[in-house]
A and B are shown apart, each in its own frame.
Chain A
Amino acid sequence: MEKENKNIPLVKTKTFINPENEKRSVTAPDGSIIEIDPIKDYFCQDRPKEYKVRSGAVEKFLNWARAESLWVLGFGTGCGSIEIPPLVTPRFDMYRYGVQMRPTPRQSNVFIISGYLSVKTLKRAIRSYEQMPSPKYIIALGSCTINGGMYWDSYNTINRLDHYMPVDVYIAGCMPRPEALLAGFAKLKELIKAGKAEKANEYVRNLDWYKANQKKIIKDWNMPDYNW
């Protein structure tokens, strides 16, 4: 599915570089001068590649394993993040379903965008998402991620999450209760088991479009486009 650029009005954007990240030069021990570009030098500049989606019995089994072992990144974005902690309480006990919290994106598969996403947080959310190993999934929680919800005309939040990040499952409501989240997980599991949750590849495929969208509202990129 190819996204089109029409949806977003083209606006000339001016990038902003924090003085801290301006180019600077340092002196090496042997006296030579080294130019440092803090935005580029420290980071891997490569574009991501799509991974191969296999089929067959083994892959089906592995998909089942992926579905039954959902590791959620502990990253709360909006007011919805308050709905996540109850999931580990006896009342909801998401561990039963193989859903666990992980503290680092490197070890997580599932990213719950829990509610409204300010531009500032969006940048962080994108990075965290990009740092997660594939296959990875996004659950968008609450109305704000769908159309901005009560923040639809806010100057500082986004209205449609899937312009910026590929969403697997939307959970509507303001706010959805933990039960809805559990239902969301169930839905996600279904998708994974069916082999339909390959949005990570879609993100890679349409990376330019996503990046263009992201850059339209995020002015101060202080890292390269894609975060490994």
Chain B
Amino acid sequence: MVAPIYIIAVALGLAFLLGLLKSSSTNLGSLLMLAGLAFIAFVSGQWLYEFLINGRATEMIFTAGFKPPFSINLRMGMQEALLTTMINAAGLLSGLYLIDTLKKTGINSMTVLLVFVMSLNVIVMTRDIFNLFVFLEISSIATAGLVLLSSKGNAFQAGMKYLIATGIISGLFLIGIIFSYLYAGSLNIDELNAAHIMDIKGGAIAIFIIYVSVILELKPFPANGWGIDVYTAAKPGFSALISSGTATAGLYVAYKLLPLGGETWLPYFTIIGAITFIGSNLMGTRQQNPNRLLGYSSISQVGLLLMILGLSNQLGDNTLFIAFSILISHYAAKAGLFWLSGIVKSQNLEGWAVLRKQPFMLFLFGTFIFALIGFPPFPSFFGKWQLIMELATQENYLWMTLILTGSFIEAIYLFKWLGFAIKLDVPSNIVMKFEWNKYLPVYLMALTLYVIGFYVSPMVEGGAFINYIPLLFVLALFALDFLPVFVKNTISIAGIIYYMVDLFSQLENDLMRQIFAVIFLGGAVLTLMAGYNKKGTRAGFYPMALMMFAGLTGIIEANSMLEFFFSWEIMTAGSYFLIIRGKRSMPHGYSYMLFSIGGAYALLFGFALAYASGLDTTIAALGHITQLTTLAYTLLAVGFMTKTASLGLHIWLPGAHGEAESDVSPMVSAILLKAGVFGLMLLFLYMGTGTEGGDKLLYVLGWVGALTTLVGNLGAVFQEDAKRLLAYSSIGQLGYILFAVSIMTQLGWLAGFTYTINHFMFKAILFLVIGGIVVKLGTHNMYEMGGMIKKMPFSFIAVLISIIVIGGIPPLSGFAGKWLFYHAIIQKGWYFQGAVIFFAGIIAFLYLFKLIHSVFLGQLKDNHRNMKEISPWILIPSYLLIIGIMIFSAFPQKILQPIGEMLSVYFPESLHWEGTKAYTSLGYWDGTTIMIVVMTAFILLLGWLVLMSKKIKKVEQFNIVYAAERPFRPETTHVSYNIYAGYKKAVGFLVTPVVEIFWDSMSALLFDFAGWLRRIYSGNMQNYALHVVLFIVVFYLIALGGL
């Protein structure tokens, strides 16, 4: 065992030794420096290992052989070991990363770096407040020194600002130290903490001064302009160290000093933390410079951690876990991002598209972003989960709201950035050069995130049960990404089928989950089959698709809320990448992600309330929510409704589904949307009827569903883009489902299930076929198509059957839904909602006709003459689904009866079967007979026409009665564009994009506010100093001045 004191000794010794070297021997110097950094990293790592594995007790190190208060003492415990290891690792990697720069600037800078890392170590370890001050100062000076690594003019300015501000702060800290010494008679932190300075007259001032300076060191919003500039101006390699190392150390200082003031001071930490978290994130939304953006993000994360410290008395034993898991995510992600920024060398976010030249780096970039937002499987996910759960048990709703709001704002800019990197044109003027010393640190940090995430997950209640097997499969596909599509597709399909078989054995008695398992995994197989017609490797597609399906499976399997939420987020992440693959998908993927994250936070809030109601982590906890019951259910419903794209939350869908790739659209539309449906069904089953708030919620949701249907269907009517039309149609169909399940009767739910199954089948067919056609014809615009029936008869039949189902025309299965709907609505008494629903249902015919007419009928365009039928790999799954539709249509009783029986557990039975005939109190319906009657009659009538027909002359497209003239061109004869102009004139006001306008103005408001607010960062260092002073004054007035 190497004593921790060697960390200081070796670092300082080396620093002096470096000073003795000739200034030209930079190679030797850098080797020595790296060796030193490696050594101290080894020492702290060794201690960490001891604590973790051997359970060693905390060690106190007394310098000069005296005990406190007569000597400075250091402590090496679990926490210190962990933090110093983190700091030293960051230090080592940064040193490695910066090695070229350091060599260029000379040996002195290496010395400073060593001293800097050492000072951070001491800050963490020391138990002496004055020693703390000294090393804080040393770290400040070292920081200011290292900023000079960047020889740009603005680095000088930034360093100057930093020096002035920290000078004021440290002066203040000194006064605080001397006064607390005066009152407590000791400089030892433990003794200070035990001294109850608060109780002494005037002691509060001492504590105030210490706290304000400690907090100011953490760069609280808005008194942090000086800190941001350093992040911006310093070399990214060093910014990484500031962000990960200094912040870590600074937070630990705050943590160490927390007991000094006791609980009365905690709320101030929380408030300042919250302000910093939200304020900095707001600033982040307006940043164009990646480093500055990362600076704001760093500060916001520190704010969040400060909040957590402030809430430590409420979080109890979990504080450290929460703080650590968020800290480590911030640490690794921010360091990684800063280092990446040094590799990319772009002064604006748009330049990051260059990452696409090196897909693995893009992957790492995504990893860091997702880790920052708190997606699984990264530690921050678990930390945030635990944080929110604990806050909810303490009924601390305000802080929950603020944390989630802040996180959301953070997502706004981080995902914008990620979207830029994934979708913008690769800039030609930026070159990414591979340098192992720069790439290795990035790799390691990403690896850290995954490892730690896996490591911390069992520490959360319920986290031990998370099923990582699907994720491992995804990982395997990542590894196999170089293989051609055919192989990967086969592997994926085989894997899914295997897993489905396995899953079914677990779901034996749960019909609802079985149905959704068929939709999710069966749908996955069918839609993946369409992938066989793609060529090349299709890089990145399969891992992401499988990630989405893994998430979907996880939702079905989940027993606890954590597992559910975990899978939900995995699914969201996977689908985001799938959606953003489309050519013009960037803005749509972005809005999808934002709505998803917003929805996920609503879910999180709801889950937290459920957890807090009975400290029950299973999903069954949704059944007995006692805290803010109505709000909880509303939030959960809203959360799920972001996925079902209900009214108000639907604006992401048309673009996301419309612009996605041809086989991604069916995945996200036919399958992914059902995740929201599954969630809603689960929620409503647990919620049940009869509660006052619940019933009101259901009533509102019923209206929302009805209006969603209307808006979705009307929106589809006026689309010219085939896939957008289908996307709007999805909104409408999901509105039906929301409405149906909101009815909360057996009939309503049967209708809901019918719609779910139907929508899965027909929307998969439609998106597959139309997607295939869109690709083949090279246009989304329906008015540029036409006449495809002759070229693609099989596609036409598939689409025809689908639209018959959508329209609810007997004898196909769509009618089952309509019939159940009418009966459910009249039984329930929701007449007007019902009327809206049926109005919308008939509007569906408008867009269905437009779709099939514009694409398949009418005039064939010149450039499509040589078209062939679309790929059989698209048609095969479509026709398999058609077989499904036909079976469902001919034997609805076979499927609906078991569902009805399952539902009769939850709802009074309102539908019974006699053979193939269904009865309600209102009427009856016999799908099988209808099928027989219609088929027979149709065949007879067809026979009649054939019998009466004469020899038929088949004519060409322009052989039409055209006032005895010829049409000029097909384009001028094909009636499709704005075909419902008259309708638009009459009811077009209903499609005013009110919701879009609302969200647009909301985001404009946010950005304008951020833009207005950031004017405080005027760039003038005196202003920044003034901010510091004002911060002190305001804090004083609030904390002690009675404000």
Does chain A touch chain B in the assembled complex, meaning CB atoms less than 8 Å apart? Answer: yes
Chain A residues engaging chain B, CB cutoff 8 angstroms? 20, 26-30, 32, 34, 36, 38, 41-44, 46, 51, 75, 104-106, 123-125, 127-128, 131, 222-223, 227-228
A42 touches B961 (CB 8 A): no
Q: Known: A29-B777, A124-B964. Is A42-B866 also a contact (CB below 8 A)?
A: no
A124 touches B864 (CB 8 A): no
A28-B863, A30-B778, A34-B862 known, 15 other contacts, Cβ within 8 Å: A27-B863, A28-B864, A28-B865, A29-B776, A29-B863, A29-B864, A36-B862, A42-B956, A44-B955, A106-B961, A124-B964, A124-B965, A127-B965, A131-B959, A223-B966
B961 touches A29 (CB 8 A): no
Question: Shortest CB–CB separation between residue B959 and chain A, in angstroms?
Answer: 5
B964 touches A43 (CB 8 A): no
A28: contacting residue among B866, B956, B964, B967, CB under 8 A: B866
Question: Shortest CB–CB separation between residue B633 and chain A, in angstroms?
Answer: 50
B954 at the interface (CB under 8 A from A): yes
Q: Which 3 A-B pairs have the closest CB atoms?
A: A29-B778, A42-B958, A124-B964
Question: Shortest CB–CB separation between residue B857 and chain A, in angstroms?
Answer: 16
Task: Return chain A residues, CB-CB under 8 Å to B958.
Answer: 42-43, 223
A44 touches B953 (CB 8 A): yes
**Nearest neighbor of B953 in chain A, beta-carbon distance:** A228
Task: Return chain B residues, CB-CB under 8 Å to A46.
Answer: 953
Complex Cα distance A105/B776, Å?
Answer: 37
B1012 at the interface (CB under 8 A from A): no
A104: contacting residue among B864, B961, B966, B969, CB under 8 A: B961
Question: Shortest CB–CB separation between residue B474 and chain A, in angstroms?
Answer: 34
Chain A residues touching B, majority SS: loop
**Nearest neighbor of A104 in chain B, beta-carbon distance:** B961
19 contacts between A and B (CB under 8 A): A20-B968, A28-B865, A29-B864, A30-B778, A42-B958, A42-B966, A42-B967, A43-B955, A43-B956, A46-B953, A75-B964, A104-B961, A106-B961, A123-B964, A124-B963, A124-B964, A127-B965, A131-B961, A131-B964
Chain B contacts with A in 166-207, Cβ cutoff 8 A: none
Complex Cα distance A80/B62, Å?
Answer: 123
Chain B contacts with A in 938-985, Cβ cutoff 8 A: 950, 953-959, 961, 963-970
Question: Shortest CB–CB separation between residue B861 and chain A, in angstroms?
Answer: 8
Complex Cα distance A42/B958, Å?
Answer: 5
Task: Return chain B residues, CB-CB under 8 Å to A32.
Answer: 866
**Nearest neighbor of A34 in chain B, beta-carbon distance:** B865
Task: Return chain B residues, CB-CB under 8 Å to A131.
Answer: 959, 961, 964
Task: Return chain A residues, CB-CB under 8 Å to B961.
Answer: 104-106, 128, 131
Complex Cα distance A26/B864, Å?
Answer: 9
Question: Shortest CB–CB separation between residue B783 and chain A, in angstroms?
Answer: 15
B953 touches A125 (CB 8 A): no
B862 touches A44 (CB 8 A): no
B992 at the interface (CB under 8 A from A): no
Task: Return chain A residues, CB-CB under 8 Å to B959.
Answer: 42-44, 131, 227-228
B25 at the interface (CB under 8 A from A): no
B779 at the interface (CB under 8 A from A): yes
Question: Shortest CB–CB separation between residue A49 and chain B, in angstroms?
Answer: 8
**Nearest neighbor of A31 in chain B, beta-carbon distance:** B778
Task: Return chain A residues, CB-CB under 8 Å to B957.
Answer: 42
Task: Return chain A residues, CB-CB under 8 Å to B867.
Answer: 28
Task: Return chain A residues, CB-CB under 8 Å to B956.
Answer: 41-44, 228
Question: Shortest CB–CB separation between residue A55 and chain B, in angstroms?
Answer: 18
Task: Return chain A residues, CB-CB under 8 Å to B776.
Answer: 29
Task: Return chain B residues, CB-CB under 8 Å to A42.
Answer: 956-959, 966-967, 970
Task: Return chain A residues, CB-CB under 8 Å to B966.
Answer: 42, 222-223
Question: Shortest CB–CB separation between residue A225 and chain B, in angstroms?
Answer: 13
Complex Cα distance A222/B955, Å?
Answer: 17
A26: contacting residue among B777, B863, B953, B955, CB under 8 A: B863
Chain B residues touching A, majority SS: loop
Interface size on B, residues (CB 8 A): 27
Complex Cα distance A29/B863, Å?
Answer: 7
Complex Cα distance A104/B961, Å?
Answer: 7
Question: Shortest CB–CB separation between residue A89 and chain B, in angstroms?
Answer: 25
Q: Known: A29-B776, A43-B958, A228-B953. Is A125-B864 also a contact (CB below 8 A)?
A: no
**Nearest neighbor of A25 in chain B, beta-carbon distance:** B862
**Nearest neighbor of A40 in chain B, beta-carbon distance:** B956
Task: Return chain B residues, CB-CB under 8 Å to A223.
Answer: 958, 966
Task: Return chain A residues, CB-CB under 8 Å to B778.
Answer: 29-30
A128: contacting residue among B777, B862, B953, B964, CB under 8 A: B964
Task: Return chain B residues, CB-CB under 8 Å to A104.
Answer: 961
Task: Return chain A residues, CB-CB under 8 Å to B967.
Answer: 42
Question: Shortest CB–CB separation between residue A118 and chain B, in angstroms?
Answer: 13
A34 touches B955 (CB 8 A): no
Task: Return chain B residues, CB-CB under 8 Å to A38.
Answer: 969
Task: Return chain B residues, CB-CB under 8 Å to A105.
Answer: 961, 964
Question: Shortest CB–CB separation between residue A203 and chain B, in angstroms?
Answer: 15
Complex Cα distance A29/B868, Å?
Answer: 12
**Nearest neighbor of A106 in chain B, beta-carbon distance:** B961
Task: Return chain B residues, CB-CB under 8 Å to A43.
Answer: 955-956, 958-959
A127 touches B964 (CB 8 A): yes
With most chain A CB atoms within 10 A of its CB, the pick from B863, B967, B969 is B863
Task: Return chain B residues, CB-CB under 8 Å to A123.
Answer: 964
Complex Cα distance A123/B966, Å?
Answer: 11
Question: Shortest CB–CB separation between residue A122 and chain B, in angstroms?
Answer: 11
1/0 contact trace for B753-778 toward A, CB 8 Å?
00000000000000000000000111
Complex Cα distance A124/B777, Å?
Answer: 35
Complex Cα distance A222/B962, Å?
Answer: 13
Complex Cα distance A29/B961, Å?
Answer: 30
Task: Return chain A residues, CB-CB under 8 Å to B954.
Answer: 44
With most chain B CB atoms within 10 A of its CB, the pick from A29, A127, A228 is A29
B965 touches A34 (CB 8 A): no
**Nearest neighbor of A128 in chain B, beta-carbon distance:** B964
A34 touches B866 (CB 8 A): yes
Task: Return chain B residues, CB-CB under 8 Å to A128.
Answer: 961, 964
B865 touches A29 (CB 8 A): no
Complex Cα distance A75/B961, Å?
Answer: 13
Complex Cα distance A131/B959, Å?
Answer: 9
1/0 contact trace for B428-468 toward A, CB 8 Å?
00000000000000000000000000000000000000000
B779 touches A228 (CB 8 A): no
Complex Cα distance A29/B864, Å?
Answer: 7
Question: Shortest CB–CB separation between residue A31 and chain B, in angstroms?
Answer: 10
B779 touches A29 (CB 8 A): yes
Question: Shortest CB–CB separation between residue A68 and chain B, in angstroms?
Answer: 20
Q: Known: A44-B956, A228-B959. Is A34-B863 also a contact (CB below 8 A)?
A: yes
Complex Cα distance A30/B968, Å?
Answer: 25
Complex Cα distance A222/B967, Å?
Answer: 10
Task: Return chain A residues, CB-CB under 8 Å to B964.
Answer: 75, 105, 123-125, 127-128, 131
With most chain A CB atoms within 10 A of its CB, the pick from B866, B953, B961 is B961
Task: Return chain B residues, CB-CB under 8 Å to A28.
Answer: 863-867
Question: Shortest CB–CB separation between residue A133 and chain B, in angstroms?
Answer: 9
Complex Cα distance A222/B968, Å?
Answer: 10
Question: Shortest CB–CB separation between residue A114 and chain B, in angstroms?
Answer: 15
Complex Cα distance A38/B972, Å?
Answer: 14
Complex Cα distance A26/B784, Å?
Answer: 14
Question: Shortest CB–CB separation between residue B987 and chain A, in angstroms?
Answer: 30
Task: Return chain B residues, CB-CB under 8 Å to A124.
Answer: 963-965
Question: Shortest CB–CB separation between residue B745 and chain A, in angstroms?
Answer: 50
**Nearest neighbor of A29 in chain B, beta-carbon distance:** B778
Complex Cα distance A106/B955, Å?
Answer: 13
Complex Cα distance A41/B954, Å?
Answer: 14
Question: Shortest CB–CB separation between residue A148 and chain B, in angstroms?
Answer: 22
With most chain A CB atoms within 10 A of its CB, the pick from B953, B959, B965 is B959
Task: Return chain A residues, CB-CB under 8 Å to B955.
Answer: 43-44, 228
Complex Cα distance A104/B208, Å?
Answer: 94
Question: Shortest CB–CB separation between residue A76 and chain B, in angstroms?
Answer: 12
A26 touches B866 (CB 8 A): no
Task: Return chain A residues, CB-CB under 8 Å to B965.
Answer: 124, 127
**Nearest neighbor of A133 in chain B, beta-carbon distance:** B950
Chain B contacts with A in 851-872, Cβ cutoff 8 A: 862-867
